[in-house]
Structure formats: structure tokens, C-alpha cells
Amino acid sequence: MNSNMNKTITYFAAALFLFVLWDILALLLRNPALPRPVPALIAFFEIFPQSLWRHFLISTYRVLVSLFIGLAIAVPLGLYLGREPKLDKWVSPQLYLTYPIPKIALLPVIFAIFNIGDLSKIILIVLIIFFQIIVTTRDAAQNIPANSVLSVLSLGATPGEIYRHVIIPACLPEIFTAARISLGTAISILFFTESFATFDGLGYFIFEAWSRVNYPEMFAGIIAISLQGFILFLILDFLQRRFCPWLYT
Amino acid sequence: MLTLNSVSLVYTNGKASVNALVDINFQIEQGKSYAIIGPSGCGKTSLIFLMMGLLHPTKGEILFNGKPLLKPHRDTALILQEYGLLPWKTVWENAALGLKLRQVDEKEIKCILERVFEELELTECIDRYPSQLSGGQKQRVALARALSLKPKLLLMDEPLSALDALTRENLQEVILKLIKRYQMTSVLVTHSIEEAVYIGQKIVILSGRPGRICAQIDNPEQGTDGYRKKTSYHEKCSEVRSLLEVYSQ
């Protein structure tokens, strides 16, 4: 309870500090594109219950579905590659060749094939975060101490049981790290894909307010997208505490 | 109980190959305790992995009660140098794993473990994770996991090498007591002459790489009261030391 309290106070202090920095910057720049925090916050609390919440939920849905699909595909593949050096030898060069391609450039292709809906946005995000997750997971699976695997093999475990009792739990902390990094990436890509040919989502909301030169409203959108990232980060933290209790002893 | 007939082991990595063990002929008789000693890198660990069924000989055969040993045998348990505990499982979960993999029901697991934990003075640690234990406690958990399976053959790969002198002597006593009480046959791999003489009724000396059996010494006074303080114990240590000096050249 006490540590929860401390954490809340720390987060509150950090937020306050950021708002002060923001205020100083706004005062120095004196540019309407960077309003001071108080009007921006007032705009946020005014608009959120009216229309912003809908864009918030739509964007959150898109991020979560993309993250879930990305993890569901890349984690099992990464774990398997990490434990099968022969297959990895064959797949690795292909991963390394395709990893650096800026997949965001494929956006027009994906829009052309899958139309401009949720599906194309999700496909683009999955395509990008897939690489981050698979490489991190594979490396984690490769680095599992041989002793952990051998000791469980000596107990008569089947390959499936080795995955269940050793490989998956050993890689969970790195999978969470990959999920956290991918979450940030997913939000950024989504913002980009929502910025045109769309009528919902936080990206749309922010760009639409910008086009109307309504800066406080635009900043309400920016606060919403930041809040979205923060809440999803907290959820990942909570899940990691729940599923990796040994890291917190 | 376990027979090794002309066993050789070659490790191959691409085109390079290393002879780890050459022409090992060795018979483990039921109820005896063996200590295997040899210089670093002589293949001691490989030999114990072969006996466990985790490795397979390149040449020769290994028989368990007359049948070829192709995978870890139910009647054999292994204790590893770095304990082989899983950091993500509590002490209880680690110790219960072997029984769980054998589909023993929860009630019986509880019954077996409570007895073993009391014997090994681990009752207070059951909810802790391995990272919260001392080296000696970790090795006791590894022992508990092995003993819960009621093995007939206990294989130990330098189980005490990471411990301080006093904990080490204390655990040597514990191991001796348990081997007697559970009427197990045991094989201990060690690089400590004193430990080999204290625990092994038969001491097997391996040469430097590639490992060959150079000598097998009987140690009839092993296990007698106050053996560690007897002259015969120190004489046996000297005998083993001089043989090791000759064969590790």
C-alpha cells in the first residue's frame, strides 16, 4: 500500500514537473501553436466527454488489436527460432534483410490492397512491430542457461513441457520489454496512418483541430494520445508484475 | 545397475571435432556410492550426462538394468553444479516439478514434499524464489527435487563446488545420510579430492582430455564414523592425489 502510494506521488510529481517545463517553454516561445498547459487541460476536460473519448477508444482499440496480433505471431515464432539453431540459420538472413526496410513506405500498397479501414492500419502496425518482437524473443530464447533446460529434461520433460516450464517463463521479461517498445511504436504509426483519409481516431482528431487552427483542441488530442500511452504502459507493468512475480522479490 | 560398454563421445561442431571421452568401460553396482574425479575439462560432466541419458555415446552403449539407455530413466535423478533451479518458480514449485511432470496428484505431491522438506530443513523457505536463498539452501532444494522422485540412482555433477567450506562439509554429511536412508546408488562428479574420498566407496580417476578411466580405487572405510578425522582418510586422499598427478599430465 505504502509503495503504491509512493509510486502515485512520484508519478504526480513527474507530471507536475513536465507541466512546469511545458509552461516555461510556452511562455518563452509565445507561439499560439504551443498553448500554455492550463488552457490545453481545460480544453481536454471540456472536449473529452463530448467527442474526444470516441476517438480515444477507437485508437486504443486499434493499438491493442495490433499489439495482440503482433505478439501472437512473433512470440511463438521467436521462441521456436531461438531454440532451433538450424532453422534460425536459414531464417536469420531473411529477417536481417527485411528488418531495415522502412515498412511505413508500404502504406500506399497496403491501403491499395486492404482499403482504407481498420484492417490496413492494423496490418501496417503488425508488420512493423513483428520484427521488434521476434528478434527480442529469439535472442531471449537463445540465451536461456543450458542448466535450466537440462535439469528439467532430466526430470523426464517432453519438448512441450520444456516450453511450458522453462522457455516461455524464461523469456517472459524480454517479451514484456518487446511489448513495451512495440506499444510506443504502434501508437506512433497509428497516429501517422490516422492523419489522412480517415474520420476517426486520435491522429485524425489532432490533425483536424490543427487544420482549424484550434490549438487548445489540438493539444487536448495530444494530451489524450499521451494519456493513452501512459495507461497502456501501466497495464503492461501490472501484467508483468502479475506474470513475473520473481522479478519483484 | 548401469553399464557403460566401450563408450566414446565426440563433440562435432561443423568440421571440427573434439574427443571428449574415449573407451569408457564402467559398471555401477547397486547400493554403492561412486566418486568420479579428474582434471578440469576431462569430460566428467559429459560422463554424468551420458549416464543420465541426456547425451548419447558416439560409440559403445550404455545399459540401465540391461536395457539400452536412450532417454532419462525414471529411476535416475540428477543434481547439477549450479543447482538447476528455475528462477521463476518458488522453492515449492521447483521441488514439485518432477512429480508434476509424472502426473502425481497434488495431494500426494504435498504429502511427499512436506516430508522431504522437513528432512532438509526447508519448510520455512517454501514460498521464496531461488534468488532469495543462500547457495546451501538452493542445493537443498535441488536435493529435495531429486529425492521427491525416490530415485534408485542419484547422479551429482559437482553439486557443492559453489559453496563455502563449512556449508560444503555440512551438505556432504546431508548427502551421505540421505544416500543411506533412501538406499540409493550414487555417482558424484567432483574436482575435490577430499570430497571424492569422503563420499565415494569407489573412486574413479579420469585422465585429462580426452577422458579415459585410469584407475578405480576401493575406499572401504568410507562412511565409517568420524572418517574425516581418521589417518586412513588422509592416506586415501594422498593416494588419490598422487594418482591424479600422474594421470593428469
Each residue's pLDDT tens digit, A37-63: 998 999 999 999 999 999 999 999 999
> Which of A2-11, A28-37, A39-48, B233-242 is predicted with the least confidence, judged by mean pLDDT?
A2-11
**Which sequence spans correspond to the domains of chain B?**
1-75+190-249
The arithmetic mean of pLDDT across residues A112-123, rounded, is 90
Count contacts between A and B (CB, < 8 Å). Answer: 67
End-to-end Cα, chain A, rounded Å: 16
Sheet containing strand B16-28, edge to edge, reads B16-28, B2-13, B59-64, B67-68
Same domain, A100 and A211: yes
Measure B74 CA to nearest chain A CA, in Å. 7
The arithmetic mean of pLDDT across residues A164-174, rounded, is 96
Q: What is the mean pLDDT of chain A?
A: 92
Same domain, A127 and A4: no
Same domain, A69 and A166: yes
Q: pTM for this one?
A: 0.87
> Per-residue pLDDT tens for A56-66?
999 999 999 99
Same domain, A127 and A63: yes
At residue A94's C-alpha, the angle toward residues A90 and A96, to 5°, is 115
Looking at the 3D structure of chain A, how many domains does it have?
A: 2
CATH superfamily label, B1-75+190-249: P-loop containing nucleotide triphosphate hydrolases (3.40.50.300)
**pLDDT higher than 80, residue A1:** no
Indicate which CATH number applies to the domain containing A155: 1.10.3720.10
Q: How confident is the model at residue A7 (pLDDT cuts 50, 70, 90)?
A: confident
Q: What is the ipTM of this complex?
A: 0.87
The residue type of A107 is L
Taking the C-alpha atoms of residue B85 and residue A201, their distance in angstroms, rounded to an integer, is: 48
Any idea of the CA torsion for B55, A170, A180, A116, to the nearest 10 degrees? 50
Q: What is the mean pLDDT of chain B?
A: 89
Same domain, A23 and A64: no
Which among A174, A154, A153 has a CA at the least distance from the CA of A162?
A153
Residue carrying C-alpha cell 584407475: B215
Asked if A79 and A137 touch (Cβ cutoff 8 Å), the reply is yes
Contact A147 B77 (CB under 8 A): no
Same domain, A126 and A218: yes
Give the nearest chain B residue to A151 (CA atoms): B84
The arithmetic mean of pLDDT across residues B126-132, rounded, is 93
Among chain B, residues having any CB pair with chain A shorter than 8 Å are 49, 52, 54, 71-72, 74, 76-78, 80-89, 97-98, 101-102, 128-129, 131-132, 142, 145, 149
* Domain ranges, residue A11: 1-30
Taking the C-alpha atoms of residue B63 and residue B3, their distance in angstroms, rounded to an integer, is: 5
Cis ω on the peptide bond leading into residue A216 (within 30° of 0)?
Answer: no
C-alpha cell, A218 = 489540438
Residues of chain B positioned with their CB less than 8 A from the CB of A151: 78, 80, 84-86, 142
**pLDDT higher than 80, residue B248:** no
Measure A62 CA to nearest chain B CA, in Å. 33
pLDDT reported for residue B220:
86
CB atoms within 10 A of CB A218: 22
Q: Which residues of B135-170 are buried (b: 16+ CB within 10 A; e: fewer)?
A: bbbbbbbbbbbbbbbebbbbbbbbbbeebeeebbbe
> Per-residue pLDDT tens for B58-112?
999 999 998 999 889 999 999 988 888 999 999 999 999 999 999 999 999 999 9
**pLDDT higher than 60, residue B205:** yes
Distances (CA, A) of B235 to A183, B39, B228, B238, B247: 67, 20, 11, 5, 19
Same domain, A22 and A81: no
Q: How confident is the model at residue B249 (pLDDT cuts 50, 70, 90)?
A: low
Asked if A142 and A82 touch (Cβ cutoff 8 Å), the reply is yes
Same domain, A76 and A41: yes
pLDDT reported for residue B151:
92
Measure B88 CA to nearest chain A CA, in Å. 5
Taking the C-alpha atoms of residue B14 and residue B130, their distance in angstroms, rounded to an integer, is: 37
Q: Which of helix, strand or coil describes residue B37? A: strand
> Per-residue pLDDT tens for A173-215?
999 999 999 999 999 999 999 987 788 999 999 999 999 999 9
Same domain, A2 and A16: yes
Same domain, A108 and A228: yes
Taking the C-alpha atoms of residue B149 and residue B112, their distance in angstroms, rounded to an integer, is: 9
Which residue among A152, A172, A249 places its CB closest to the CB of B97?
A152
**pLDDT higher than 70, residue B142:** yes
Same domain, A93 and A204: yes
Residue carrying C-alpha cell 522437513: B118
Which residues neighbour A131 within 8 Å (Cβ) at sequence distance 6 or greater? A74, A95, A98, A99
Which residue among A150, A157, A166 places its CB closest to the CB of B80?
A150
Contact B84 A165 (CB under 8 A): no
Same domain, A181 and A227: yes
Asked if B199 and B31 touch (Cβ cutoff 8 Å), the reply is no
DSSP A245: G
pLDDT reported for residue A11:
86
Q: Which of helix, strand or coil describes residue B198? A: helix
